[in-house]
């Protein structure tokens, strides 16, 4: 009798995804009817839309783009809209991270191939993207080739509408801009200028206003600034016209063009009688900060302690209309043209240094990244802090607090899924204190791990460890060893991982860090679980639980209990597993951790599935689904539906199974999760296999393979090829089956996955046995056995010995057959797999009967 044992070896996880950011509302606009008509005509005949809005600074390019996006016909054609400001973003990485935020790529998925993920997400139909102030990233000679290459990739998406606004008259290469080209925006006619004024001020214009508006030559920003000055009664139209006449004389001497006219209109505010030196300093600071400053009362009170003149200077800037308040975001910001002119006019560092001290102290105060208040304070000013710290390094201000703040900022960068390493590299270069340099290396290692650059992470952690040793810092060394242990776990180097965690544990004991010891024991438990050393794993998790209780770390305790639940399931101690999962659920309820509760319910659902309590399993998965909906966690909902699909397959409720898989697929598409879609397609493929719809099954597996290729997920591709190999075996297409298993083997080698290679060789061995190619089968199975030993996979060794036993029985090599079957039996007993013990005992019984003959 030939028994086939299938092993599931792959799983995926997904993290939270932020919601879409609504596009801003536009300012009032008059006199752009022709441009709007031209853009709408472009949309009708050009699929997809490609438009570059050009013109000088302050000409209303952003306003026109927003009015176009808000037009009803545009919203119907492109209901999914993205508006990305490139202002203050001076690298492609920063642009990609901003895009990742808006299209809901989870933080943990941004570690590698981020541009490819974004491009794939933008393939959704009926999507339009506007890149505003693109000149920030395009004008730099260093960035121009990369930016044009990225634009080329965007324009290659045939369902994506693309709008860019650029200061100047030149369009970037990389995009085929359709004819007729939209001309650079002209100045407004006097009629439109007057309408703009009356819309802002709410009164009819007089003779002085008409003179002023003619004088600024129809530049929308200048019109807006003059209107604001009159509306807020900062100056009368008569006084403003009097000052304008003097400024105009100077312009005529130097030549008049749009830029000089814009400069004059801004200088009307600069030279207002109310302007003070402190106001100019504050304007320079606000122009330097890419995201302005918070208008929240608490932040204004806090900054006042560092810059006592802040509020008074801000009042002046408001009165002369040089700053604006974004009421939706509650941020103070400077319009882009004013910002550029301010920064070009000279350097003012007095307030900049004080603001740096303010944000350095905020980083020191708000280090708990689970705190809602911390997120409200740090996240909106993330890039502001980056600019201030970078400015400190450029000016040679290398105080210890700047370097420590860089470490804290880097930890926030990792947590927010924005792993930028420029600042921490500066810190490493400038840190003179050994202990601090070690902390910098540790932070760099964390960034490398987040980017999945594991080899560079190991180098950074080793450097951190060496410097902490030189500084005799036991706590620092312990954390470095803990990080190195995780690196070794990633590489399946379990002996090295165990040694690192054990050494970390000893040092955390010396440093009297209860929480550190608890985390080390938790990590050791995971090592022992991987080795099937279940007694040692249980002791580690139990000890970790006790220490997490001492440290009053509720979430740590919940994690320990969930790990114990998984261990008890492995031991078939299902009652203890259920209690552990329930206790973890209670702790997550106590901590009001909705996502933690959902994960516990997911684990309970898996337990009930194992017990064939399908009604209870369905309730757990459904409850998890409700919590994920409550938390607006789209990816969680998708994976709950995926689990429900598997449950319905077990019940032979194939219609419900297919609906669950399809609903999961739609949610994963909505969340732009390529890997999630691949898993859903795998589930559908297995469903179609079960229904003997082999064409549909093959199509699903092939589609999953394509998605894993797009995500550059080598292990996912290998898994898809394994599924296809099984399908081809079922169809007796043995050549295709062999090729699929061989291709999977190559990918697992590429990914350095020892366990994956072992499984591929095992599958090949079984296929060769099916073909009676016993020599090839024996070689594949023996090679698989060596790799299973290397990976310390007891189940893999058990299955391979079992198949070798069958092979040797077929070849009448009875002694070898008996030895392998007995070894398989011992392994199955070790991991308590009674059903497979029965299979082996039946074969041993057949062998004994054969030997008696």
DSSP string of 446-474, one letter each residue: HHHHHTT-HHHHHHHHHHHHHHHHHTT-H
Which pLDDT score is estimated for 853? Answer: 64
The residues near 140 (Cβ < 8 Å, ≥ 6 apart) are 90
Find the helix or strand (DSSP H, E) in which 119 lies: helix 114-121
Share of the chain above pLDDT 70, in %: 91
Most confident of 273-277, 569-573, 604-608: 604-608
Residue 721 has pLDDT above 90, yes or no: yes
The model's pLDDT over 195-253, given as tens digits with 9 standing for 90+, comes to: 888 888 888 888 888 888 887 778 788 788 788 778 877 678 888 787 767 654 333 23
Q: Do residues 105 and 114 make contact, with C-beta atoms less than 8 angstroms apart?
A: yes
Q: Which structural domains are found in the chain, ordered by start?
A: 33-167 (3.40.50.300), 190-270 (1.10.8), 277-348 (1.10.10), 358-582 (1.25.40.10)
Mean pLDDT of 617-644: 87
Closest residue by Cα to residue 719 from 682, 668, 761: 682
Q: What is the CA radius of gyration of the chain?
A: 33
Which pLDDT score is estimated for 215? Answer: 76
Return the higher-pLDDT residue of 546 and 788: 546
Which pLDDT score is estimated for 246? Answer: 67
Which pLDDT score is estimated for 11? Answer: 29
Using left for φ > 0, alpha for ψ between -120 and 50, and beta otherwise, residue 128 falls in beta
Mean pLDDT of 179-189: 86
Q: Give the bridge partners for 123, in sequence order.
A: none
The model's pLDDT over 94-111, given as tens digits with 9 standing for 90+, comes to: 999 989 888 888 887 887
Confidence of residue 523 (pLDDT cuts 50, 70, 90): very high
Question: Which pTM value belongs to this model?
Answer: 0.56
Mean pLDDT of 711-738: 85
Token digits of residue 671 = 């969340």
Which pLDDT score is estimated for 599? Answer: 87
The residues near 719 (Cβ < 8 Å, ≥ 6 apart) are 9, 10, 682, 708, 744
Helices (H), 593-713: 594-610, 614-630, 634-650, 654-670, 674-690, 694-710
Residue 541 has pLDDT above 50, yes or no: yes
Residue 547 has pLDDT above 90, yes or no: yes
Share of the chain above pLDDT 90, in %: 46
Token digits of residue 394 = 């450029």
Residue 374 has pLDDT above 80, yes or no: yes
DSSP 25: P
At CB < 8 A and 24+ separation, what contacts does 679-683 make? 679/12, 679/642, 679/704, 680/638, 680/642, 681/707, 682/719, 682/720, 682/723, 683/642, 683/645, 683/646
Confidence of residue 13 (pLDDT cuts 50, 70, 90): very low
Helix axes 514-531, 554-570, angle to 10 degrees: 20
Residue 396 has pLDDT above 70, yes or no: yes
Q: Do residues 23 and 153 make contact, with C-beta atoms less than 8 angstroms apart?
A: no
Q: Mean pLDDT, the chain, as a whole number?
A: 85
Closest residue by Cα to residue 178 from 333, 42, 6: 42
Which pLDDT score is estimated for 255? Answer: 32
Task: Give CA–CA dist 784/383, Å, rounded.
Answer: 51
Least reliable range by pLDDT among 6-10, 543-547, 831-835: 6-10
The model's pLDDT over 435-494, given as tens digits with 9 standing for 90+, comes to: 999 999 999 998 888 776 778 999 999 999 999 999 999 999 999 999 999 998 877 688
Confidence of residue 713 (pLDDT cuts 50, 70, 90): low
Burial, 149: exposed, middle or buried (Cβ in 10 Å; 0-12, 13-18, 19+)? middle
């Amino acid at each position: 009798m030939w028994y086939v044992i299938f092993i599931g070896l792959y799983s995926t996880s997904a993290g939270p995804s932020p919601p879409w950011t609504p596009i801003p509302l536009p300012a009032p606009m008059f006199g752009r009817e022709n441009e709007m008509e031209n853009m709408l005509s472009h949309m009708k005949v050009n699929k997809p839309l490609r438009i570059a809005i050009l013109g000088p600074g302050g000409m209303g390019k952003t306003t026109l783009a927003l009015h176009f996006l808000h037009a009803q016909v545009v919203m119907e054609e492109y209901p999914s809209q993205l508006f990305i400001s490139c202002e203050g973003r001076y690298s492609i990485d920063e642009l990609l991270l901003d895009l990742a935020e808006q299209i809901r790529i989870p933080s943990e998925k941004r570690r590698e191939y981020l541009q490819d993920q974004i491009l794939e997400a933008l393939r959704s139909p009926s999507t339009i993207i506007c890149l505003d102030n693109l000149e920030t990233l395009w004008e730099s000679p260093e960035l121009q080739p990369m930016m044009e290459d990225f634009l080329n990739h965007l324009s290659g998406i045939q369902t994506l509408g693309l709008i860019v606004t650029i200061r100047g008259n030149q369009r970037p290469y990389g995009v085929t801009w359709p004819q007729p080209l939209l001309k650079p925006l002209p100045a407004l006619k006097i009629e439109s200028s007057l309408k703009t004024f009356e819309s802002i001020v709410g009164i009819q214009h007089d003779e002085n206003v008409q003179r002023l508006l003619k004088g600024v030559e129809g530049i929308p920003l200048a019109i807006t600034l003059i209107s604001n000055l009159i509306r807020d009664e900062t100056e009368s139209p008569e006084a403003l016209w009097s000052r304008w006449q003097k400024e105009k004389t100077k312009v005529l001497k130097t030549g008049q063009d749009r830029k000089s006219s814009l400069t004059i209109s801004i200088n009307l505010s600069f030279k207002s009688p109310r302007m003070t030196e402190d106001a100019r300093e504050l304007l320079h600071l606000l122009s330097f900060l890419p995201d302005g400053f918070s208008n929240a009362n608490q932040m204004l009170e806090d900054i006042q302690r560092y810059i006592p003149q802040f509020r008074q200077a801000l009042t002046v800037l408001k009165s002369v209309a040089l700053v604006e308040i974004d009421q939706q975001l509650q941020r103070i910001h400077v319009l882009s043209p004013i910002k550029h002119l301010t920064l070009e006019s000279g350097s003012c560092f007095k307030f900049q240094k004080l603001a740096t001290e303010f944000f350095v102290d905020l980083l020191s105060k708000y280090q708990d990244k689970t705190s809602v208040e911390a997120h409200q304070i740090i996240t909106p000013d993330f890039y502001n802090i980056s600019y201030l710290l970078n400015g400190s390094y450029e000016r040679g201000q290398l105080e210890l607090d700047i370097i420590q703040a860089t470490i804290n900022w880097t930890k926030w960068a990792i947590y927010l899924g924005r792993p930028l390493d420029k600042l921490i590299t500066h810190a490493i270069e400038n840190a003179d204190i050994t202990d601090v340099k070690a902390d910098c290396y540790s932070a760099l290692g964390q960034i490398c791990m987040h980017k999945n650059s594991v080899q560079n992470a190991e180098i950074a952690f080793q450097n951190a460890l060496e410097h902490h040793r030189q500084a005799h810092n036991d706590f620092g060394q312990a954390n470095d060893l803990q990080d190195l242990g995780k690196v070794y776990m990633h590489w399946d180097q379990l002996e090295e991982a165990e040694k690192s965690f054990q050494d970390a544990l000893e040092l955390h004991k010396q440093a009297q860090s209860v929480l550190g010891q608890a985390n080390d024991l938790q990590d050791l438990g995971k090592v022992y679980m991987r080795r099937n050393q279940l007694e040692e794993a249980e002791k580690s998790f139990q000890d970790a639980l006790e220490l997490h209780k001492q440290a009053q770390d509720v979430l740590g305790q919940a994690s320990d209990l969930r790990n114990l639940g998984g261990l008890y399931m492995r031991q078939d101690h299902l009652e203890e597993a259920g209690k552990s999962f329930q206790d973890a659920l209670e702790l997550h309820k106590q901590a009001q951790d909705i996502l933690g509760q959902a994960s516990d319910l997911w684990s309970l659902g898996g337990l009930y599935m194992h017990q064939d309590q399908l009604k209870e399993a369905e309730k757990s998965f459904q409850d998890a689904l409700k919590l994920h909906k409550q938390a607006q966690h789209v990816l969680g909902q998708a994976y709950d539906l995926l689990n429900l699909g598997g449950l319905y397959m077990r019940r032979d409720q194939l219609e419900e199974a297919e609906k669950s898989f399809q609903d999961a697929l739609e949610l994963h598409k909505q969340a732009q999760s390529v890997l999630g879609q691949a898993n859903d397609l795998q589930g559908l493929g297995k469903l179609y296999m079960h229904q003997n719809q082999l064409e549909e099954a093959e199509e699903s597996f092939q589609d999953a393979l394509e998605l894993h290729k797009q995500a550059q997920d080598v292990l996912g591709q290998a898994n898809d090829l394994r599924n296809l190999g099984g399908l081809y075996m079922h169809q007796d297409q043995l050549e295709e089956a062999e090729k699929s298993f061989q291709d999977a083997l190559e990918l697992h080698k590429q990914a350095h996955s020892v366990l994956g290679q072992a499984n591929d060789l095992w599958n090949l061995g079984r296929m060769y046995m099916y073909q009676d190619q016993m020599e090839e089968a024996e070689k594949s199975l023996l090679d698989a056995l060596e790799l299973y030993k290397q990976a310390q996979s007891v189940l893999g060794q058990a299955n391979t010995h079992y198949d070798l036993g069958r092979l040797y029985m077929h070849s009448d090599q009875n002694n070898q057959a008996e030895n392998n079957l007995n070894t398989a039996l011992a392994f199955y007993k070790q991991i308590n797999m009674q059903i497979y013990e029965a299979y082996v005992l039946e074969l041993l019984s057949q062998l004994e009967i054969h030997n008696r003959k």
